[in-house]
Structure formats: structure tokens, C-alpha cells
Structure 1
Amino acid sequence: MNHTPRTRTVVGCTLLATALGAGVTACGSSGNPLSAKPYDAAGLISFNGPTGAGKRADPDKPLEVTANGGEGSITDVTAQDSTGRYVAGELSADGSRWHSTAPLAANAHYTVTVSTEDQDGAPGRKVLTFDTSMPTSKKRLTVTFGPDAGEYGVGQPITAQLGQEVKDKTQRAVVERALRVESTPAVQGSWYWVDDKELHYRPKVYWPTHATVTVHSNLDGIRISDRLWGGASKPLTITTGDRLEAVTDAAAHHMTVYKDGVPIKVLPVTTGKPGFETRNGVKVVLAKQYFVRMRSTTVGIAAGTSDSYDLPVYWATRVTWSGEYVHAAPWSVGSQGSANVSHGCTGMSTANAEWFFDTVREGDIVKVVNSRGDQMEPFGNGFGDWNVDWKKWSTGSALTGGTQSASAESNAVRLQPTVL
């Protein structure tokens, strides 16, 4: 930028204001030469967008603004559509050219504000508007966010189910960048690609208590690939309640329930016996059912064998899709607090199970320690997301890591068996 011409212009304005006398404005509404309104820079720039009524820009082509040779330079460009989405761009070092570096949305209305400076340093501005055309491809990628709107525990992950598979890393980055999660209070979080059609979002640590979390997609009209464009998706808002954590020590045979870090109740329990050990790790409450008929045949135990069962079960809080619950087990009260005799569930007295059922909500944390069972799966059998450390979780993002996905075993189809 040449500062000498600008200095001469400022001095000239000051002298003119002095010559005209006090109270007379010669350069700008305040008499300050730096407050001069930018002139219309239409003659200083060229624009590759459409001109003329009814004409629309091809969203596949980059947007470009250039300064007419020798007449001045571009100092800044902002391009924004009617929904508030900005278009990323790059300005050359000499201010001669600006071009978009991110795709335009299809069927969108854009406003482009170009700031310039002429050879004398005087500021100019031009506002340009245009519309983009509809994409030629009919395939649209929609996103279904989960869970349903409502209040949840601080362990509830956000899910995004895609209407089409997205395998390519570059295309995944386009999709992920458009999936926006905002919380009040704000927290650090990230998406993880579970597979080609599903993403999970969680904070580095649990959500804050009494937070509001909003999720929406900016994909509508965005080009993802030659044959796939983003479609409209319904936004989601959830809130969180108190921080409820139930920690079961399988070796000590008791569960301690914490509210905002303070223990509020210790319950004697029984967990999985040898051969049916309860999974270790963090789980999240998936659902609550007052009554469940639990049958051993749903988990591969043949009817009529020594381990078979077919029982009515009450006050059942589900923590895995494969049938692990915290529930009333009046038949094992004599072992609760002293021995593990269940087929994998956490059993307690009817009164304690009713209290637990009434106290927790979906998204609350249920953790098992000191069991001889396997570790809770990260995905596919509920929400084991919190068993993935943050460093590894970050590698599951297309923006901050690789394209790591869960294994085939952890992405098994959700089943609805029940265990005791």
C-alpha cells in the first residue's frame, strides 16, 4: 500500500476545511477526512458473477473479483448467503484478485461486499448480489440428528445419521464442517465418524450441567461431490440436567450414586457371575421401562438349561442394546452386597431399583469398575463413546484427524435381547 498519496489527500482536506471556516464540512460528515464515505467502486473492479435479470451463477464455479489494472487495489471481500453462511476466500498479496476457496451453495442468494482503495488511498466499496442455480444432481444428503429434543444427562452424545454414505475424506470434511454444535456454556467437542453414515459428537469431558445444546446443518445447497448435494435437515435442541453418575464396584458389590460429584446413595447390588461378567466402563442410560419380560433365549441361552430364565422384571433401566439393565431383582436380594449371581445385569432390591429408576434420566452416566468382564464397546451397543480417550476421539474427525471408524464388531445391528 502506498501511504504517500493518502497523506497528501489528508493534508489537502484539512487545508480546505480551514479555508472554508469553522463548522463547514469539506471531507466527510464530521469534518474528519478519515470519516469520508467510501465511493462507489464499480469502475475499479470486475466480477465474474452473472449480470442481468433471471441469470444465475453456477455454484460449481469459484467466485472471483479482480481489480482493473493500475486503477487501485482490493482491500477486503466478504461473501455471505441469505442464511448467514460465509464463503471462504483468498486475497492476493498485491490486492489485485480475490477468489473463493470454498464451494458456493446451490439455489442461494449471495451478497458480496468489496472494499477497495484507489491510487490516492481513497476507500471505495461495491455491494454485489446474485443468485446461484439449482444443482443438476437430484441426490440430496439429509441429516437426522439425535436424540429427540428434551432434557438429558450430561453423558448424552449427539448423533448425526446421514441419508447417504460418505466415504471420501475430502467429502467427509465438507459434511462435518457444515454440522454445527453450539452449547451454552461453551465446551470443546468434536465429531467422530462411526461409519460412512453415522457421526457422534461429544465434548472432551461431559456436558456442563443445565446447558443448552443446539445442533443444525448448513449443508442445504452445498456441493459434496459431483452427484451429491446437501439437503435441508431439521435442527435439534436439547438441555442437560444435574450431573448424575452411578458407579458400580463389581468386586465390592455396591453402587454409589453421585449428584454433581457428591454421593447421595449407596446401594447393595449383584452383577454378572462367572461366564456372564458385566461389562466394565462407562455406559449411558438409553431408556427406562417399568416392565420388561426377560428371556434367556434372547441372549443365546437355551430354554430348559440350568441358566435359562423367563421372568417379569420391573423398574428396568437399559444401558446397552444387547440387554444390559439396572433393574429390580427380588430373587437375588440375599446375594446383593456380597456376591455376583446375575447373567450380566446389575440387580438390586425392588425399592432400590424404583428409586434408581425415578432418579436417573436418559443420558445419565452408569459406570462399572472392577468387573472381570470385557470393556464396554465404544459404538453399536449403546453409547460407549466415553470409553474412547480424547486423543483417539480426535482422530475420528475428518477435520482434525484421520478417517478412523469403528470396527465392524462394534457397529453390529442393534438387538433387543435381555439379560438378568
Structure 2
Amino acid sequence: MLIVRILCAVALTGCSAAPGAPDQHQGAGSTASAAAPQITISVPDGATAVPLDTALRVTATKGTLLSVHVAPSGAADGRSRVAVSGTLNAARQTWTAGRTFSPTTLYTVQVTAASPAGQRTTTHTRFTTLTPSRANRALLGPLDGQVVGVGMPVTLRFDHPVTDRVAVEKRLTVTTTPNVEGSWGWIRDPHTGQERIDWRPATYWPTGTKVTVTAALSGVDTGGERYLPRDISTTFTIGTARITRVDLSMHQLTLTENGRILRTIPVSGGGPNTPTHNGTMVAMDKAADIRMNSETVGLGDAYDMNVKWAVHLTTSGTYLHAAPWNASRIGKTNASHGCIGLTTDDARWLYDRTQPGDIFITTGSTGPAVDIGNGLGDWNLPYPKWKQRSAMPAS
């Protein structure tokens, strides 16, 4: 089918009349001459509270459609809005909108059609979409322009649970240069309860990959008439291939960059009653100085202190950080409350080299495997099983 480009400008371009064939203007409520094409717009002029999933259709009789422009003229809440794209049928007599409308928005529809003899009709309508009584919000990561490690998934987090996952997922697009195979998968964090959908590659990202994510979500009902308010997008780049392996049976950590070992460092992991998670974790963020309070992770009043050079690995509270109070145990035994402790100098060295998205693989602990929703634990599923978490699995 022929795709019509929908422009944000209201003015038509390329729609001047053929020589000797004056335009016929068919405004709302008017009729054109019998020889001129007739235009019908499915949403009436002046309509209000138009549902966001309305299937807008434009049809031409006694002629064909030359242009259809559907653009937001303003939004009561001040948010920027996007134009509505659509497709023409093969006969160029019917145009159908290809996406949902934005909420609380005034739209202008401007259409030009021509008869076989070249006579033209131009018409326009205006309508306003509804203001939903309930809303959802989505947060997309990584940040636009960010450079991240080879393990960083695309993340789209929701304030409220999504019951219509297909409606959301079909509006998401990931484009990579070079081309990288990957899949969306739905996850719920067992500690925060937050629902999200991630896109991860089949294997770790190649260094230098440029990734663009588009989420055309404005007006999408996530279920129960809880609507998303806007489109969002991000473009980020994959940086150095940095993988840290932590062997807690040997009480040591080994950092590699682009396959080359940089250093092996002594560590101390979680003790027998609070063991560190096994499995693959991804650096979520880091802080040069952070307060850690045991009450926030369900350990009562065991500790309350400021910690230096902390790399955040799970939402349940796993960090890799300086632990000078544990100096006599580092490299010899596991005695922490679940974090991975280093000397202050080693922690600073590792902190300086860590970026969000770097991989940390922990083995040798007596603790359980990290849940895929606990932090960015996507890599703890084999890729074939990961793909099954998509709401639209490939056939």
C-alpha cells in the first residue's frame, strides 16, 4: 500500500490546481459541484472527547486522494504532540489512520482530492480528543546520548501494571547499527513490584553499536482505559566490552576489557546467613558516596553507614563497594551482609572503570541465583527462553 507522509504543518504543499481547472473548496458543511470529487472524514467537524483509539478514515468519491494531513494544533496540558500517520488503499480513495491519538489535543484534518479531469476539492475539519480519567506513565532507558556497557538492555518501566501488553509492544521499535538480533521480554521486579518490558540482544552488544528506540505510545490504552500520554524515544551507544567475574569461593574478582585481563582483586562476599546472589548482574548506576541502611533491605538495625565507591547491581540492595571495616577478611572469607566488599583503593580503581551496563558475573556463593527482574538480570535466561517473554513471540 502507498504510505502517505503526514506533516505537522497545516499548509498543503504540491496541491495547486492543474492549468484551467480551478480548485473546489469543500469546507465543513458545504457541498462542491457535481463534477468535483467528494471528501468524507469519519470524525465530524467540531467533535469533542473523541476516543483515542478512534479509527479515523478519509474517503474520496468521484476522484482520488492527493494529500491527507492530520496534525495536532494544540494541547491543553502544554505537552508536545505528534502528527498521525496513515495509509492509502491501492485505489487512492481511502486513507486510514495508523496510530492512536494523543489525549487532550486539538487535531486539524486537511484533505485534497482530484477528479479524473483534474478538478480538485480541499476540505478540513477540527476535533478534540478526550481527557482520560486514568493514566499510566512510562520511563525509557538508557538516557538519550548515553554510552553504556555491553550488557545494558533497553528498559521501559511503567507506573502501573500493563494488562494489554500487545497494544504496548506493537508500538515499540528498536533500530541498531550494525544490525543486532534481539527481543522484547516482560518482567516484574520482585522487590519493587514495578513492571517493565526490556529489549536485549541474543548475546552481549558489540562495542560501538548505535541503538535507537522509538516508543509511539501516546494514546495507547495499557488496559482498563489507563492511557499513556506521550511518545518517547532514545538513542544510545555501546562502549567498552567490560566484564567482571567474581569467584566467591576463591574470594577474588577479575576484570577484563575487550577480552584482556586488567587486574585480579581480592574481595569478600556475603556471609552464610546473607549470601551474595549467584548469576549475571548488570551495573545499574554508581555513587562515590552513599548511605546504606539495613532497614531498607529487611535486615533490621544491622548497619547504617556511608559507603564509598559503590556500584549498584540489584534493586534488592546488592552493591560492590569499599569495605575498610572488613579489611582482615577481604580475600580470605565471605562475611558481608550480601554486598561484595573491596579495599578502598581497589574499590576506587574499579569504580573509575565501571559504566552502567557493565557485566558482573558472580559464582561460588552459597546464595540463590539472582531473579531476572531483580535489577537488570535479563542475562540469566537463555535467549530462546527470553524470547518467550515477549507478548508477540516470533512464529
Structure 2 length-normalised TM: 0.68
Aligned length: 345
Identity of aligned residues (%): 30
1:192 aligns with 2:185: yes
Q: Secondary structure at the match of 1:175?
A: helix
1:49 aligns with 2:41: yes
- Contact kept in structure 1, 2:255 and 2:262, CA below 8 Å: yes
The verdict on how the C-alpha distance between 1:231 and 1:323 changes in structure 2, with shifts beyond 3 A counting, is: closer
- Contact kept in structure 1, 2:46 and 2:128, CA below 8 Å: no
The structure 2 residue matched to 1:257, chosen from 255, 279, 291, is 255
Q: Give the AA of the match of 1:388.
A: L
* Alpha-carbon shift at residue 358 of structure 1 (Å): 0.8
The structure 2 residue matched to 1:203, chosen from 197, 200, 203, is 200
What's the counterpart of residue 244 of structure 1?
242
The verdict on how the C-alpha distance between 1:221 and 1:316 changes in structure 2, with shifts beyond 3 A counting, is: closer
**Counterpart-to-counterpart distance in 2, 1:387 and 1:294:** 27
1:355 aligns with 2:349: yes
- Contact kept in structure 2, 1:48 and 1:64, CA below 8 Å: yes
- Contact kept in structure 2, 1:185 and 1:212, CA below 8 Å: yes
Q: Secondary structure at the match of 1:133?
A: strand
**Counterpart-to-counterpart distance in 1, 2:180 and 2:234:** 17
- Contact kept in structure 2, 1:209 and 1:240, CA below 8 Å: yes
What's the counterpart of residue 385 of structure 1?
378
> Which runs of no fewer than 5 residues in structure 1 stay unpaired?
1-38, 403-420
**Counterpart-to-counterpart distance in 1, 2:88 and 2:55:** 13
Q: Give the AA of the match of 1:337.
A: G
Higher helix share: 1
What's the counterpart of residue 364 of structure 1?
358
What's the counterpart of residue 289 of structure 1?
287
What's the counterpart of residue 324 of structure 1?
318
Q: Secondary structure at the match of 1:400?
A: coil
The structure 2 residue matched to 1:166, chosen from 148, 162, 166, is 162
Cα offsets for 1:361-417 (capped at 9, x unmatched): 2221111123221011111x3211221332333233233379xxxxxxxxxxxxxxx
**Counterpart-to-counterpart distance in 1, 2:255 and 2:69:** 50
221-230 vs 202-211, which deviates more? 221-230
**Counterpart-to-counterpart distance in 1, 2:294 and 2:232:** 40
The structure 2 residue matched to 1:182, chosen from 160, 164, 175, is 175
The verdict on how the C-alpha distance between 1:108 and 1:324 changes in structure 2, with shifts beyond 3 A counting, is: same
What's the counterpart of residue 276 of structure 1?
274
- Contact kept in structure 2, 1:67 and 1:96, CA below 8 Å: no
Q: Give the AA of the match of 2:138.
A: V
Cα offsets for 1:166-216 (capped at 9, x unmatched): 31x3xx323222233334444333333335973232222333323443334
Q: Secondary structure at the match of 1:194?
A: strand
* Alpha-carbon shift at residue 243 of structure 1 (Å): 1.7
Q: Give the AA of the match of 2:86.
A: V
Q: What are the equivalent positions in structure 2 for 1:2-401 lying under 5 Å apart?
A: 48-49=40-41, 60-63=54-57, 65=59, 81=70, 86-87=85-86, 100=96, 102=98, 105=101, 107-108=106-107, 133-139=127-133, 141-149=136-144, 150-162=146-158, 165-167=161-163, 169=164, 172-194=165-187, 198-204=195-201, 205-221=203-219, 227=225, 229-294=227-292, 296=294, 298-301=296-299, 308-309=302-303, 312-379=306-373, 381-400=374-393
Structure ID, larger Rg: 1
**Coordinate RMSD, CA, aligned:** 4.4
> Which runs of no fewer than 5 residues in structure 2 stay unpaired?
1-20, 24-31, 72-81
- Contact kept in structure 1, 2:280 and 2:380, CA below 8 Å: yes
**Counterpart-to-counterpart distance in 2, 1:143 and 1:286:** 18
- Contact kept in structure 2, 1:187 and 1:203, CA below 8 Å: no
Structure 1 length-normalised TM: 0.65
The verdict on how the C-alpha distance between 1:80 and 1:397 changes in structure 2, with shifts beyond 3 A counting, is: farther
- Contact kept in structure 2, 1:137 and 1:229, CA below 8 Å: no
* Alpha-carbon shift at residue 110 of structure 1 (Å): 5.7
Q: Give the AA of the match of 2:287.
A: Q
354-363 vs 103-112, which deviates more? 103-112
Cα offsets for 1:64-122 (capped at 9, x unmatched): 64776xxx9x9x9997755575436766xxx6985748555365456779999x9xxx9
- Contact kept in structure 1, 2:42 and 2:56, CA below 8 Å: no
* Alpha-carbon shift at residue 266 of structure 1 (Å): 1.4
**Counterpart-to-counterpart distance in 2, 1:89 and 1:199:** 35
Q: Give the AA of the match of 2:314.
A: T
**Counterpart-to-counterpart distance in 1, 2:194 and 2:250:** 41
Q: Give the AA of the match of 1:251.
A: S
**Counterpart-to-counterpart distance in 1, 2:123 and 2:265:** 66
